[in-house]
Amino acid sequence: MRGIRHIGYRSNVEAIAELVDNSIQAYAQRVDLVSGFADAGQATRPVQLAIIDDGHGMGPGMLRLAMMWGGTHRENDRSGLGRFGYGLPCATVSMGRCFTIYSKVRGGKVHAVCLDLDLLDAGVYLAEGARLSIPPARPAALPAFVSEAIARMHPNGWRSGTVVVIDKLDRLHWATASGLRRNLIRQFGIAYHKLLAATAIHIDGEPVQPIDPLFLSPDCALSSLDEDRAQPLEPVTLKIGLEGGATGELVLRYAWLPPTFGAADKSRDAIGLNANARFPILKQYHGIVFSRNGRVVDVQSRTPWTTFINNDRYIRVEVEFSASLDEAFGVTTSKQQVSVSQEVWEQLQAAGLPKAIEHLRSKVRAAKAERQRAIGTGAAPIAAGTDRGDGHPDQPAPSRPTARGARESQSSAADARLGGVDPGTALDALLSRIDRRRSAGNGAIANEYDRLMRGWANQLSRISGTKPATT
Ligand SMILES: Nc1ncnc2c1ncn2[C@@H]1O[C@H](COP(=O)(O)OP(=O)(O)OP(=O)(O)O)[C@@H](O)[C@H]1O
Ligand SMILES: [Mg+2]
């Protein structure tokens, strides 16, 4: 059991997603994650987490089975999100040493089962003959913080549903409830963007807003954040049959983004404080987004024929696949990654994925060139560096008019250091390095780099005589 605790969710977010998956499959209309605090709510670090839904609930017999590894009523089902019978127990023990499942079916009473790993360790669950036995479900009262939350969230009554409470939280990756909340809201916004219309998710009262990683869906807030819009290519739907006999459906969605899509001030690059709310998503979901039965499970930047470079953040690709193809996509029990088989890559190739990626790249290149031309013909000199925040260009940037004559006098010394590389390309490489350092660094390092970039932006503004956009 101690080993299972470390079986490896990427973070608490993926573990909590297992519980949300279960609620969605129980036809919940609303799922809440609620933090419980010690010290009458004075502390910032939660001591308990509860995932509360208003789905169909479970009877006492099913409740006990749900707690067990392998206990499921949908073994190998391919129509929904769950199929293994491992999600609930694995996810809960990955965060804490004790979990309790409370559930109520329509017209029934709340029953609960609890598994405490400390008691397990102490031999409390050993029944006769030294066999391990999970205690049966018993009628139970909900903990106070849960019943208070239910009263707030379901003022017309909570007729049925399930609550999973995790205690003894010794493996929380975020030190505060607000850190966990921020991450859950962003990542669930993407993971469940196609499913949120049927099941609303709230994290400590705050609703999760859908975020389409392709920024195409008009219902998703960030798609219409400003005047820049994602440009779609025609989606492709195909039925595939694989050698082992599996068949299923794939949907390929495509979009490309204007070069200013991640920038707040459109005359400047998406660097530092000028990066808008879309930019972290461009960065984090960079590559092919894989979605399984409507839920985003992974993003991969390498394919057998091409690797996504930084500039490819502006091309967006999603492969939606049905769970009947799980084996070919290498989906494992934790459903947080794919490992695409050669056969599927070949099918994707045959369906035109490499061509579509090249087409999107050419659209992005053309849009960048167009922007450079527009800037070159008289826009703010600071933006003459073009879209630099995003790293290596596909090809060396064309030389541009210098902002001030002073730069010319410095250029010979700089040229020697650049070893003949175009200064624009060299600057791109440097910015890309700084950006990587910043993303990889802890809070203090990230702040330090933010300060550096802000100072640099101000300095450039002073030189060019434009108003600094980073305030
Ligand atoms: N919120 C819930 N509401 C109703 N039933 C639930 C809920 N959560 C779990 N269950 C029941 O408990 C069983 C076990 O859940 P668990 O997540 O461990 O496995 P699964 O969802 O069947 O498969 P997977 O391991 O792929 O998630 C489910 O099959 C379902 O019957
Ligand atoms: Mg499950």
- Residue 38 has a pLDDT of 87
Once rounded to an integer, what is the mean pLDDT over residues 432-457? 78
For residue 465, name the pLDDT band (cuts at 50, 70, 90).
Answer: low
Percentage of residues in the chain having pLDDT higher than 90: 60
CA-proximal residue: ligand 1, atom 7 (nearest): 22
CA 293 to ligand 1 center in whole angstroms = 16
Q: Which ligand is nearest to the CA of 86?
A: 1
- Residue 419 has a pLDDT of 61
Is it the case that residue 303 has pLDDT exceeding 60?
Answer: yes
Is it the case that residue 354 has pLDDT exceeding 50?
Answer: yes
Q: Ligand 1 pocket: which of 72, 93, 94 to mutate (most atoms <8 Å of CB)? A: 72
Once rounded to an integer, what is the mean pLDDT over residues 158-181? 94
- Residue 415 has a pLDDT of 54
CA 351 to ligand 1 center in whole angstroms = 35
By residue count, the chain amounts to 471
Is it the case that residue 444 has pLDDT exceeding 80?
Answer: no
CA 438 to ligand 1 center in whole angstroms = 39
- Residue 466 has a pLDDT of 65
Task: Return the ligand 1 atom nearest residue 335 CA.
Answer: 26
Once rounded to an integer, what is the mean pLDDT over residues 155-178? 94
CA 203 to ligand 2 center in whole angstroms = 19
- Residue 450 has a pLDDT of 79
- Residue 390 has a pLDDT of 39
Most confident segment among 2-6, 109-113, 381-385: 109-113
Once rounded to an integer, what is the mean pLDDT over residues 22-40? 93
Once rounded to an integer, what is the mean pLDDT over residues 254-278? 94
Is it the case that residue 43 has pLDDT exceeding 50?
Answer: yes
Task: Return the ligand 1 atom nearest residue 53 CA.
Answer: 1
CA-proximal residue: ligand 1, atom 6 (nearest): 22
- Positive or negative, the CA dihedral 141, 143, 147, 150 is negative
Task: Return the ligand 1 atom nearest residue 86 CA.
Answer: 25
What CA–CA distances, in Å, run from 340 to 9, 12, 296, 330, 347? 19, 24, 15, 6, 11
402-416 pLDDT tens trace: 444 444 444 445 555
Percentage of residues in the chain having pLDDT higher than 70: 87
Which residues have C-beta atoms less than 6 Å from ligand 1? 18, 22-23, 26, 53, 55, 57-58, 62, 66, 71-74, 82-89, 162, 333
- Extract the tokens encoding 42: 């004075």
Once rounded to an integer, what is the mean pLDDT over residues 232-246? 91
Contact 87, 51 (CB under 8 A): no
Contact 278, 225 (CB under 8 A): yes
What CA–CA distances, in Å, run from 406 to 378, 398, 412? 19, 20, 12
Is it the case that residue 69 has pLDDT exceeding 60?
Answer: yes
Q: Which ligand is nearest to the CA of 83?
A: 1
Q: Which ligand is nearest to the CA of 89?
A: 1
Once rounded to an integer, what is the mean pLDDT over residues 90-96? 95
- Residue 333 has a pLDDT of 81
CA-proximal residue: ligand 1, atom 26 (nearest): 82
- Residue 378 has a pLDDT of 54
Contact 134, 1 (CB under 8 A): no
- Residue 88 has a pLDDT of 93
CA 254 to ligand 2 center in whole angstroms = 30
Mean pLDDT score across all residues of the chain: 86
Is it the case that residue 470 has pLDDT exceeding 50?
Answer: no
118-140 pLDDT tens trace: 999 888 888 777 788 888 899 99
Choose the weakest-confidence range: 34-43, 223-232, 284-293, 339-348: 34-43
Give CA–CA dist 319/304, Å, rounded. 15
Q: Which ligand is nearest to the CA of 103?
A: 1
CA 294 to ligand 1 center in whole angstroms = 18
CA 285 to ligand 1 center in whole angstroms = 28
178-216 pLDDT tens trace: 999 999 999 999 999 999 999 999 999 999 999 999 999
For residue 4, name the pLDDT band (cuts at 50, 70, 90).
Answer: confident
CA 70 to ligand 2 center in whole angstroms = 10
CA-proximal residue: ligand 1, atom 21 (nearest): 82
For residue 382, name the pLDDT band (cuts at 50, 70, 90).
Answer: very low
CA 74 to ligand 1 center in whole angstroms = 8
Tell me which of 196 and 440 has the higher pLDDT: 196
List of domains in the chain: 2-207 (3.30.565.10), 221-363 (3.30.230)
CA 88 to ligand 2 center in whole angstroms = 6
Once rounded to an integer, what is the mean pLDDT over residues 443-455? 80
Once rounded to an integer, what is the mean pLDDT over residues 423-427? 71
Give CA–CA dist 224/227, Å, rounded. 7
Dmax over CA atoms of the chain, in Å, equals 89
Q: Which ligand is nearest to the CA of 76?
A: 1
CA-proximal residue: ligand 1, atom 9 (nearest): 22
Per residue, the 3-state secondary structure of the chain, as one string, reads CHHHHCCCCCCHHHHHHHHHHHHHHCCCCEEEEEEECCHHHCCCCCCEEEEEECCCCCCHHHHHHHHCCCCCCCCCCCCCCCCCCCHHHHHHHCCCCEEEEEEECCCCCCEEEEEEHHHHHCCCCECHHHCECCCCCEECCCCHHHHHHHHHHCCCCCCCEEEEEEECCCCCCCCCHHHHHHHHHHHHHHHCCCCCCCCEEEECCEECCCCCCCCCCCCCHHHHCCCCCCEEEEEEEEEEECCCCCEEEEEEEEEECCCCCCECCCCCCCCHHHECCCHHHHHHCCCEEEEECCEEEEEECECCCCECCHHHHHEEEEEEECHHHCCCCCCCCCCCCCCCCHHHHHHHHHCCHHHHHHHHHHHHHHHHHHHHHHHHCCCCHHHHHCCHHHCCCCCCCCCCCCCCHHHHHHHHHHHHHHCCCCHHHHHHHHHHHHHHHHHHCCHHHHHHHHHHHHHHHHHHHHHHCCCCCCC
Task: Return the ligand 1 atom nearest residue 55 CA.
Answer: 3
CA-proximal residue: ligand 1, atom 8 (nearest): 22
Task: Return the ligand 1 atom nearest residue 75 CA.
Answer: 22
Give CA–CA dist 317/361, Å, rounded. 11
- Residue 397 has a pLDDT of 38
CA-proximal residue: ligand 1, atom 11 (nearest): 66
CA 293 to ligand 2 center in whole angstroms = 14
Choose the weakest-confidence range: 59-63, 225-229, 385-389: 385-389
